Amino acid sequence: MNIPANAFSVQFPAAIAASGEAAAANLLGCIARHQDRIPDLADLGRRLCERVAPPGLAAPRAPTDERGSPLDALIALHEECAALLEQAMWSGSGDFHALLTDYQALFREQEALRRLRGDVRHHFILGIPVADRPLHLKACLESIYQVCAVFDYGGHESGSWDTVQVVVSEDSRDEANVRRHIELVEEYRQKGLRVVHFGLAEQYELLHALPSQQRERLGTLLTTQPRDRFYLKGQAANRNLSYLKFLQLTEDTRNTLYYLIDSDQSLCVNRQTAAGEEAVYALPYFHAIDRIFHDTDTVMLTGKMVGDPPVSPAVMAANFLDDVTAFFARLATLHAEQACQFHALPKEPVGDAAYHDMAKLFGFENQPATFPYACRLAGEHDHVACLNDFAQRLNAFFFGEHLTRKTGFAYGSGYTALAPARTVYPGNYIVNYAGLKYVIPFGHLRLRMSGPTAGRLIAAEIGHRFASFNMPNLHRRTTETGPGDDFRPGVEADAARVDVSNEFERQFFGDLMLFSTEALVKETDVTRPFAQDAIEAVVAQKEVELLALYQQKHDAIGERNRQLSALVFDVGHWWLRASEQAPGLAPALRQVRAFIDNIDRNFGEEAQAWRQIQSAEHRAARKRQIVEALMNYRAERDAWDSLF
């Protein structure tokens, strides 16, 4: 039986009596508004009236008696109510935004109760490595601010969120971008975020404050770049340098967590609606992470990403060409002036690694052959407008944006369900003080796949204490101003030409490092130095396997690119005829041609990266680097561990 809102007559404990019903106003309101749709809320309401803790309630952290204080019980009821709202919110059957509003309010009310009890939860230090990306940094800082504001972890009675601190770790070459980053730090300080700018000069001084012998033993984990070129050190070196700043800022090593976020990621997730994709602040990151580290022996925790894929266009080109071809094949069956037909919700979600041409290498099952394009234009428009917008977005692919295979958030078993991890997502991982030892190595090689490689090493060393959880970040490769506005390593572009040869080369040898490491840790003890002959044998084996796979992918890209070109330009479809009467279509077709040319330039027979991959001499030099790095790993890790 449901309980009407006016039936709640709660006798509050003396500790919160002065606040009266305001101490649980949001909890009471949630129960009254949602108990019809969520039957378990009625039972929670009865227990609230009786001031009885839920059956099986875990012992509070600081109980005043065997059952815990009434204040503890009230906080626990807030947590139970939030869990019920969370499940309903993602079930798809209720009003998502109404549930989200109440869900966020429950956390803010719970924080007020926690302050009455005394708060012993973790403090967070967040690190954001950034290189020439002011627009991305702004979005990232805004997301942290929003999570603090709507969930209020730790409260902000002082005017700032004292339990959350942010370090912006600079790596820009452009002094104008450095100034913009500093301005953003100040802007968000004014909003109540505790943000510090870890500048290039301070980084250099902090690094060189280490004794020279210790720096030498650390080898390539940090950087050897000189003071006058202490920029663009690479994401791994910059991230590892930020650990030195973390140590300086840490007041309590037993109660501090360190959260690494990339500047092109935001603490929110995406959801599909009839009106398109929207970003929502629905995940209480700090609350959930605190609970996981409190309740388990986790040392390192990693989330994933939703939105744009976390991989290079070098391993997405074949499936992207499939989807672009499918778009034009369907467009050919429609009329130019017909109302746009590209707005239906997808029949099935984009699965894990659906964007990866070699997903089977990572143990993922086959995905559908193609995924449909979803037009982003609002209001009434025809297929000419749709094609114009589609064409404008094509070259964003070379900056990592996949128009048809963005990953959406799936609630599954909940936010905090843990699973064994084997990949570190460098833009979304958390460690406690002991976990600072598990650094991402080999940054000096500038290879891609550094996170998966580090993950294999860490998983082999600490097992289940390296875990993944279902709290991804929203990944946006490009900003509202379009591709090319921010720095992306390995990508060079002008008006029409995009060159990703550097990134493509780093992808192949990053795969070679990853799969060699994966095989190596299965055969040897990761806590001891790897033997040179064992490394060389496994690298040689994986080289042969990868060359065959990359050859298959290379052939597939060439064939699919030729098919796309023929479909768009050789068959005489309506867009060619329409471009003669509608001048606006001509630039769109030039953009499609530029995309096809860029595919050939970067992945064709004469592509620079492809020639490097085919060169035995180039491969030999890269293999020597990989073998040497793996041989030195244990000694460098031991030196790094000594810092902590």
pLDDT digits (tens, 9 = 90+) for 257-270: 999 999 999 999 99
Residue 1 has pLDDT above 80, yes or no: no
* Number of CB atoms found within 10 A of residue 370's CB: 17
Query: pLDDT value at position 422?
Result: 94
SS3 188: helix
Mean pLDDT of 438-447: 92
pLDDT-derived band of residue 358, with 50, 70 and 90 as boundaries? confident
Output 220 or 584, whichever has higher pLDDT. Answer: 220
pLDDT at 260: 97
Residue 365 scores a pLDDT above 90: no
Q: Of 510, 473, 504, whose CA–CA distance to 489 is shortest? A: 504
> What confidence tens digit (pLDDT) does each residue in 123-158 have?
999 999 999 999 999 999 999 999 999 999 999 988
What integer pLDDT is reported at residue 157 of this predicted model? 87
Res 11: pLDDT: 44
Encode pLDDT of 446-486 as tens digits. Answer: 999 999 999 999 999 999 999 999 999 999 987 665 555 55
The answer, yes or no, to whether residue 7 has pLDDT greater than 60, is no
pLDDT digits (tens, 9 = 90+) for 282-305: 999 999 999 999 999 999 999 999
Q: Is residue 116 over pLDDT 50?
A: yes
The whole-number pLDDT of residue 491 equals 57
What pLDDT is attached to residue 367? Answer: 67
Cα angle vertex 221, ends 531, 512, to 5°?
55
Reported pTM? 0.89
Sorted by sequence, the CB contacts under 8 Å of residue 286 that are 6+ apart come out as 124, 147, 151, 153, 154, 163, 164
Average pLDDT of span 214-224: 87
Residues 316-352: pLDDT tens digits? 999 999 999 999 999 999 999 999 999 987 766 676 7
Q: Return left, alpha or beta for 304; rule: phi > 0 is left, psi -120 to 50 is alpha, else beta.
A: beta
* Tens digit of each residue's pLDDT (9 = 90 or more) over 475-516: 998 766 555 555 455 555 555 688 889 999 999 999 999 999
As a whole number of Å, the end-to-end CA separation of the chain is 57
C-alpha closest to that of 33 among 111, 85, 92: 85
Cα R_g (the chain), whole angstroms: 27
Residue 494's pLDDT is 59
Confidence of residue 21 (pLDDT cuts 50, 70, 90): low
Q: What is the per-residue pLDDT for 543? A: 97
Query: Average pLDDT over the chain, rounded to whole?
Result: 88
In percent, the amount of the chain with pLDDT more than 70 equals 88
